[in-house]
C-alpha cells in the first residue's frame, strides 16, 4: 500500500502529537480516504498495522463516523443538508432537485462515477441555509438554479 | 466562506476581529493579539481562574456551566499530564458560530487554550475541529505553525521559561462527539461513546490525565477577559451571565446571520429588529432558542431575555446559541420528525433509552406525519420522551426528548390535525409528485 508523500509527511507529523499512537486514527483514516476514495481492505490493513491495531478495531471505528466509508463514492460527493434550519428554507427541495437531476437517490452514485448524492445532517451552515457540501466545499443560500450551476461547475471541472 | 452581517445593537467582543484579516499572525498582533497570554504569564494561576470566575463566563457549547468554576476543579498536582481540550466539533443543528471564529480569528482560540493551560497547569492543548470543516482545519494548522514559528508556543514561550504545545485534531462526522467524554474517546482514536462519570474529565480525562474541556467560543472569550478584566466582561451581560453571545439566526427570518449581542438581549427584538422579522407577510409560529435540543417557544413566549437563567425560567435552554425561527407555513409534526430523525441517526446506541427511544419516536412521527397517526400516539410520544429523560450516560437522550415533549404539549392541535388519515395540512400542492429519496 503506497500513499502520497503529502500523506506520509502529515502522518509522520501527526503521530508524535499524542501519547498513544492510536489517537491519530480518525484523522489518518479521513486523509487516507481522501486519497484512495474509500477505505478499502488494503487501506484498513495498512493503517491497522501502522497504529498497532487489529483490522477489526479499525473497522469498529470506521463504522461509527458518518464521513468514513468502506464503499467507493463518486468523484464528487454531493451532501445536501435537510436538517431543521435548511428544511424550513427548502433544503428538501434542493435534495429532491439533485436526485432528479442526477437520477440517483440517497447514498447512490451516478453510473459515470461522477457524483454520489447523500442527505446529510447539519453541516454548520444554518444561517446561510439551504446549504450543501460538495466534497469539502460549502455551497450556501442555494436555489434549484444555483444548485444546477454548482453541479455543472464540478462536471466541467473534470472535463478540463 | 460564510457571509458576515452586522447590526447596530451588536457588542463585538469575540467577533471584533471578524473580517479584519486576523488569520495572518502579524495582523492579529496589531489587533492586540497575544497580549492577553503575556499578561496571564505574569499572573498566578489562581488569579487567572478568579478573573474568569468574576467575568461570569459560562460555557458557550450549551450547558452554560461557569468556566472559572470548571477550571478550579482541576487538581493542583496530578500524577499524569494535564490537558486543555478545545471543543470545535460544532454540530448542534442551528449552530454555525464556531465556524466563524475559526475562519476569522483562529489565534484567539489558540490564546484561549494557552491561558486555560496556564490557569490549570497544563503543558499541552488540543483543538478538535469537526471533519466537515476541512477549510477551517487548514486555517487552524497554519495559525498553529505561525505561532510556533514566532516562539509563542513550544519551548520557553515568551521567554517565560515555560513550555506549551498546541495540536490540531480532526473529527470524521459524529454529533455525539461534541459531548465532552465522547470527544475524548474520539481524540483517543475510538468510537465516540460517552464515558461514565464520575470521575469527571477535570480529574480523569484525556489519556487519564486531568482535562479542561471548553467550547471554542468560550475559549475565544478568555483573552478578552484577561485584557479587559472580569468586571468589564460581567457588565456586558446580565447577572451571572457575563459577556456577549454569538447568536446564529436561521430559518424563516429576513436577515439570517451570526450576530454578537449582549447576554440577556430580548428574543422578540432579536427576531424582529436584528433579524428583520418574518419574511413574506407570514407569522411567527415557533422559535427554537438554542439549537435543536432546546424546547421550542411559541410566538407568545418570546418576550424573554436571552441569557441562560431567563431562558431556563421560560422553560427552555439558551443552549449553543442557534436561534431557529419557524413561520406559520411550517408543519410542527414534520419539524418534530426531522429533529427526531437527526437524533436517531446520531444516537451512538450505548444506552437503551436513547437508542430505542429515538428509533420508536422517529417511527411514530413518520407514521403520524404520513397520516397513519392514532390519538393515543400523541400521549405515547410524550410518555416515551419523559421516560428517556435523565436515563442515559450523556445528554443526547435528553436532547431528543426535551424538544419532543415541548412540540407535543405546545402544538397538540397540529398533531390532532394529522389524525384519521388526513393529509398533512401544510404539505404544499404537488409535493407528492416528488420522486422519493431511497430508503437508507
Q: Domain ranges in chain A? A: 5-62, 76-159
Portions of chain B given CATH number 3.10.20.600: 244-327
Nearest CA in chain B to A138: B1
Contact in structure between B241 and B312 (CB atoms under 8 Å): no
- Smallest Cβ–Cβ distance between A96 and the set B91, B346, B437 belongs to B437
Decide: B397 and B351 in contact? Cβ < 8 Å.
yes
Q: Which residues of B7-27 are buried (b: 16+ CB within 10 A; e: fewer)?
A: beebbebbbbbbeeebbebee
> Of B344, B320, B316, nearest to B405 (Cα)?
B316
Q: What confidence score (pLDDT) does residue B18 get?
A: 98
Residue of A nearest to B193 (CA): A64
CB contact under 8 A, B251 and A85: yes
How far is the alpha carbon of B191 from chain A, nearest alpha carbon, in Å?
Answer: 5
* CATH C-level class of B244-327: alpha beta
CA dist list (Å): B55 to B84, B85, B234, B320: 20, 21, 5, 19
Domain B332-427: assigned CATH number: 1.20.1440.230
Which class is domain B25-236?
Answer: alpha beta
| Subunit contact B437:A107, Cβ cutoff 8 A | no
Q: Establish whether this prediction's ipTM goes over 0.95.
A: yes
Q: Is B311 within 8 Å of B402 (Cβ atoms)?
A: no
pLDDT digits 0-9 by tens, A120-158: 999 999 999 999 999 999 999 999 999 999 999 999 987
Tell me which residues of chain B, numbers 350 to 379, contact chain A at a CB-CB cutoff of 8 Å: none
CA distance A141 to chain B (A): 10
Q: What is the DSSP letter of B241?
A: B
**Pick from A83, A126, A137: which is nearest to B248 by CB?**
A126
Instruction: Kindly determine whether residue B256 and residue A128, on different chains, have CB atoms separated by under 8 Å.
Output: yes
Cβ within 8 Å, pair A127-B135: no
Q: Do B96 and A20 touch (CB under 8 A)?
A: no
With CB atoms and an 8 Å threshold, state whether B190 touches A106: no
pLDDT of residue B172: 98
The reply to whether B132 touches chain A by the CB within 8 Å rule is: yes
Residue from the list A29, A67, A88 with its beta carbon closest to the beta carbon of B326: A88
Q: Do A51 and B174 touch (CB under 8 A)?
A: no
B435 near A CB under 8 A: yes
Give the angle subtended at the CA of A137 by the CAs of A147 and A18, to the nearest 5°.
Answer: 155
Across the interface, whether the CB atoms of B81 and A19 are under 8 A apart is answered: yes
d(CA A147, CA A140): 9
CA–CA gap between residue B175 and residue A70 (Å, rounded): 20
Numbered ranges of CATH 3.40.50.11540 in chain B: 25-236
CATH assignment, A76-159 = 3.40.30.10
CATH 1.20.1440.230 domain span(s) along chain B: 332-427
Whether the CB of B257 is below 8 Å from some CB of chain A: the reply is yes
**Segments of chain A scoring below 70 in pLDDT:** 159-160
CB contact under 8 A, B189 and A84: no
Show pLDDT as tens, one digit a residue, over chain B (440 residues). Answer: 678 999 999 999 999 999 999 999 999 999 999 999 999 999 999 999 999 999 999 999 999 999 999 999 999 999 999 999 999 999 999 999 999 999 999 999 999 999 999 999 999 999 999 999 999 999 999 999 999 999 999 999 999 999 999 999 999 999 999 999 999 999 999 999 999 999 999 999 999 999 999 999 999 999 999 999 999 999 999 999 999 999 999 999 999 999 999 999 999 999 999 999 999 999 999 999 999 999 999 999 999 999 999 999 999 999 999 999 999 999 999 999 999 999 999 999 999 999 999 999 999 999 888 888 889 999 999 999 999 999 999 999 999 999 999 999 999 999 999 887 777 888 865 444 333 344 43
| Residues B376, B393: Cα–Cα separation, whole Å | 29
Whole-model pTM: value is 0.96
Amino acid at each position: 500500500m503506497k500513499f502520497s508523500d503529502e500523506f506520509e509527511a502529515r502522518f509522520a507529523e501527526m503521530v508524535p502529537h499524542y501519547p498513544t499512537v492510536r489517537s491519530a486514527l480518525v484523522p489518518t483514516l479521513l486523509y487516507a480516504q481522501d486519497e484512495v476514495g474509500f477505505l478499502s481492505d488494503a487501506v484498513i490493513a495498512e493503517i491497522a498495522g501502522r497504529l498497532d491495531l487489529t483490522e477489526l478495531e479499525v473497522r469498529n471505528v470506521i463504522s461509527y463516523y458518518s464521513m468514513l466509508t468502506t464503499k467507493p463514492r463518486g468523484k464528487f460527493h454531493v451532501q445536501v443538508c435537510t436538517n431543521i434550519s435548511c428544511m424550513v428554507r427548502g433544503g428538501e427541495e434542493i435534495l429532491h432537485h439533485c436526485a432528479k437531476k442526477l437520477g440517483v437517490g440517497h447514498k447512490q452514485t451516478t453510473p459515470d462515477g461522477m457524483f454520489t448524492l447523500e442527505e446529510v445532517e447539519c453541516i454548520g451552515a444554518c444561517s446561510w441555509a439551504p446549504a450543501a457540501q460538495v466534497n469539502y466545499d460549502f455551497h450556501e443560500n442555494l436555489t434549484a438554479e444555483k444548485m444546477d450551476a454548482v453541479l455543472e461547475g464540478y462536471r466541467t471541472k473534470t472535463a478540463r | 466562506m460564510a457571509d458576515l452581517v452586522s447590526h447596530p445593537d451588536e457588542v463585538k467582543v469575540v467577533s471584533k476581529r471578524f473580517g479584519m484579516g486576523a488569520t495572518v499572525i502579524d495582523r492579529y498582533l496589531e489587533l492586540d493579539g497575544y497580549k492577553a497570554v503575556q499578561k496571564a504569564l505574569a499572573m498566578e494561576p489562581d488569579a487567572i481562574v478568579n478573573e474568569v470566575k468574576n467575568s461570569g463566563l459560562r460555557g458557550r457549547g450549551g450547558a452554560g456551566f461557569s468556566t472559572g468554576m470548571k477550571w478550579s476543579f482541576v487538581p493542583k498536582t496530578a500524577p499524569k499530564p494535564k490537558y486543555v481540550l478545545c471543543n470545535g466539533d460544532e454540530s448542534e443543528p442551528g449552530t454555525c458560530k464556531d465556524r466563524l471564529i475559526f475562519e476569522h480569528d483562529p489565534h484567539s482560540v489558540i490564546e484561549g487554550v494557552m491561558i486555560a493551560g496556564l490557569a490549570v497547569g497544563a503543558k499541552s492543548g488540543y483543538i478538535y475541529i469537526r471533519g466537515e470543516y476541512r477549510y477551517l482545519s487548514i486555517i487552524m494548522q497554519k495559525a498553529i505553525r505561525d505561532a510556533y514559528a514566532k516562539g509563542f508556543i513550544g519551548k520557553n514561550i515568551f521567554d517565560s521559561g515555560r513550555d506549551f504545545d498546541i495540536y490540531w485534531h480532526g473529527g470524521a462526522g459524529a454529533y455525539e462527539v461534541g459531548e465532552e467524554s465522547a470527544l475524548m474517546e474520539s481524540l483517543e482514536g475510538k468510537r465516540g461513546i460517552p464515558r461514565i462519570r464520575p470521575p469527571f474529565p477535570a480529574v480523569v480525562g484525556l489519556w487519564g490525565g486531568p482535562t479542561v474541556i471548553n467550547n471554542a467560543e468560550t475559549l475565544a472569550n478568555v483573552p478578552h477577559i484577561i485584557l479587559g478584566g472580569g468586571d468589564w466582561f460581567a457588565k456586558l451581560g446580565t447577572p451571572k451571565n457575563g459577556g456577549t453571545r454569538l447568536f446564529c439566526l436561521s430559518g424563516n427570518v429576513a436577515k439570517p446571520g451570526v450576530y454578537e449581542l449582549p447576554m440577556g438581549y430580548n428574543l422578540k427584538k432579536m427576531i424582529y429588529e436584528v433579524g428583520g422579522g418574518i419574511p413574506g407577510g407570514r407569522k411567527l409560529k415557533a422559535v427554537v432558542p438554542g439549537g435543536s435540543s432546546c424546547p421550542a417557544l411559541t410566538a407568545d413566549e418570546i418576550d424573554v431575555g436571552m441569557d441562560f437563567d431567563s431562558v431556563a425560567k421560560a422553560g427552555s435552554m439558551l443552549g449553543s446559541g442557534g436561534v431557529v425561527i419557524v413561520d406559520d407555513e411550517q408543519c410542527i409534526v414534520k419539524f418534530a420528525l426531522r429533529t427526531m430523525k437527526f437524533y436517531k441517526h446520531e444516537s451512538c446506541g450505548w444506552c437503551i433509552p436513547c437508542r430505542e427511544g429515538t428509533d420508536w419516536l422517529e417511527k411514530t412521527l413518520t407514521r403520524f406525519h404520513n397520516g397513519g397517526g392514532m390519538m393515543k400516539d400523541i400521549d405515547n410520544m410524550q410518555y416515551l420522551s419523559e421516560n428517556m429523560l435523565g436515563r442515559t450516560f450523556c445528554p443526547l437522550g435528553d436532547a431528543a426528548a426535551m424538544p419532543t415533549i415541548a412540540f407535543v404539549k405546545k402544538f397538540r392541535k397540529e398533531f390532532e390535525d394529522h389524525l384519521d388519515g388526513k393529509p398533512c395540512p401544510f404539505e404544499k400542492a404537488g409535493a407528492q409528485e416528488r420522486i422519493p429519496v431511497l430508503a437508507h
